[in-house]
Structure 1
Amino acid sequence: MASMKDIKRRKESVSSTQQITKAMNLVATAKLQKAKQSVLEARPYFEQIHKTISSILATSQGINHPYLEKRDGKKVLYVVISSNRGLAGGYNSNVVKLVTKHIRENQNDSTLVIAAGKKAQDSMKKEKVELLDAYNGLIENPNYEEAKKLSEQVVDLFNRKDADEVYVAYTAFHSTLSQEAKLMKLLPLSPEDFKLENEDDNQAMMNYEPSEEEVLNYIVPKYVKSLLFGTLKESAASEHGARMTAMDSATNNATEMIDKLTLLYNRARQASITQEITEIVSGADAL
């Protein structure tokens, strides 16, 4: 059995750690409320653009556009969204595993990565994947202007055919206790992903001026911007939710450990007192 001094020192160490995890839990909870509201405010804009593209593809025929063209090459660009810090459970590792699994399964000719978050940047370097750029400040406080820069870089790489396919890896926010790592295809657009929910909406053919191609040329970059902005918002909320859950679990584990150490300390103290009494009685008998 460990000495009383060692147990007491261990108990103080765990108690100190518990105070830190409790503070981090409170901070994450406060940030989560703001991030959750931001996600809810951003969703309608993305949903409307998605509906507009769905309407164009459903009510038009024979559209030939670079954003819809499936290329033969296998140059793939991944936008990987993670956090800058750890202590968030499996939040970062789940996204990285999703990307690395996709890379191995598809055997790309070349793989490029744009990282949003230090954890993604570090992990991709370990995987020896070419890191094209990093937006580590973007995940802390996602804003539309920074998301616009990222989306313009992505669209430009696709238009110059430096990337034949573009994917974004992020963590979707479902609830405080539920977050899901996802890999979504950004470009080229697949008509199968833009089905109208109401089949009656695609009955009437529509005319676009100057043309469907020109409308897509204008709206698809906006769609990419809104999608990246939305995934950044979702990932930020998911990070706070994951960290809150992880710190709450760590705090509870620390409480259980303190209880066990308290029990061990009391047993050690009782054994010490019993030994002292035994020594006193033995000494008295000897006299």
Structure 2
Amino acid sequence: MANLRDIRNRINSVENTKQVTRAMKMVAAAKLRKAQERIFNTRPYAFKIREIVDHLQEELDPTAHEFFQQREAIDGVLLIVITADRGLAGAFNSNVIKKAEEAIESQYRDVQKAGNLYLLCVGRKGHEHFSKRDYQVVGDYRGVFDSLSFKTASGIVDDAIEGYRRELWDKVDVVYNEFKNTIAQNRIVEPLLPLPEETFATPIMKEELNGEPETNNDQEIDYIFEPGAVKILDELVPRYLNYQLWRALLESNAAEQGARMVAMDNATSNAEDLLEDLRITYNRERQNAITMEILDITSGAEALGDG
């Protein structure tokens, strides 16, 4: 009977786990809907401001703004890695960490050897991973996704700009998971500083652009800037950087909720399969126990009858 008791305890434990995973799936689904709304509201503005900045780059001298100037030597690099604060989201965190390590290995190995590679990790998982290894981690942006706000993006951009102006790093890249759909994400390595010379759009943003009605390309649009292109650029570039990073944070947050929802759905399905196997095992053991008891009773009755 001890074996049956152990199986019952396992059944109860798995049932409790299934209730937890089902609840976490429902919470992730609710958060995902809100995160998607924020993304869909942010993407068009972020892309449009990128388009205006591109046009200003074409019209003005490349040295018109300090963030347009491509530095001759890349002696220092800042990598902004966006992960989650929590786990239980499948391979969400490990994928973006792996992407960052691949970028370091393929592009910035010499910079790392020289001790000039810096990592700014947004999210607890990335911060803990790189802090335990031989990396220079700057800033502390753990726990930001509990109350994600535009102020967070502005603070990160301010830190990146400060180090860029002090020439601690000559290049800033952002690594994050871009939300594609509930079950898939795009792992993105996106330049932030200096501004890329050509129009940069992530795969999702390109799809959205291709889905828009085509304009008449035979006529070039001539913009008139007031009070002036340079003054507008000084105001627009910091806003552009803030919104690009804000969009990356929203993309990562939505991708995290989608990954967690799928992971918890799989965990719930696995729990149901395990419960079915345990119940079959329990019934089989119970039947064996009953059969043994009947045999004991029958054997005893036969022994009494022989006596």
Task: Say yes or no: TM over 0.5.
Answer: yes
Conserved? CA contact 2:51–2:199, under 8 Å: no
1:230 to 234, 247, 250: 247
2:179 to 152, 173, 176: 173
Distance 1:19 1:201, change over 3 A: farther
Task: Describe the SS at the equivalent of 1:99.
Answer: helix
Pairwise CA distance, 1:175: 1.7
Distance 1:32 1:277, change over 3 A: same
Quote the residue 2:300 is aligned against.
Answer: 283
Pairwise CA distance, 1:255: 0.5
The one-letter amino acid paired with 1:101 is: E
Q: Does 1:19 align with 2:19?
A: yes
Distance 1:161 1:209, change over 3 A: farther
1:96-107 pair list within 5 angstroms: 96-106=97-107, 107=109
Query: Which segment drifts farther, 36-45 or 222-231?
Result: 36-45
Pairwise CA distance, 1:202: 8.5
Pairwise CA distance, 1:216: 3.3
CA distance in 1, matches of 2:161, 2:223: 27
Deviations 1:136-172 (A, max 9, x none): 2322232112221221121121122111110111111
The one-letter amino acid paired with 1:49 is: I
Structure 2: segments with no counterpart, 5+ residues: 210-214
Quote the residue 2:163 is aligned against.
Answer: 157
Identity of aligned residues (%): 35
Pairwise CA distance, 1:49: 0.5
Query: Which segment drifts farther, 81-90 or 138-147?
Result: 138-147
Pairwise CA distance, 1:194: 4.8
1:274 to 285, 291, 295: 291
1:187-226 pair list within 5 angstroms: 187-194=193-200, 200=217, 203=220, 212-226=229-243
Query: Which segment drifts farther, 68-77 or 258-267?
Result: 68-77
CA distance in 2, matches of 1:202, 1:246: 50
Instruction: State how many pairs are aligned.
Output: 285
Task: Describe the SS at the equivalent of 2:180.
Answer: strand
CA distance in 1, matches of 2:244, 2:216: 24
Conserved? CA contact 2:39–2:250, under 8 Å: yes
Distance 1:41 1:94, change over 3 A: same
Q: Does 1:246 align with 2:252?
A: no
Quote the residue 2:212 is aligned against.
Answer: none
Q: Does 1:74 align with 2:75?
A: yes
Quote the residue 2:90 is aligned against.
Answer: 89
CA distance in 2, matches of 1:207, 1:251: 58
The one-letter amino acid paired with 1:9 is: N
Quote the residue 2:62 is aligned against.
Answer: 63
Query: Which segment drifts farther, 276-285 or 250-259?
Result: 276-285
1:112 to 106, 118, 142: 118
Query: Which segment drifts farther, 31-40 or 207-216?
Result: 207-216
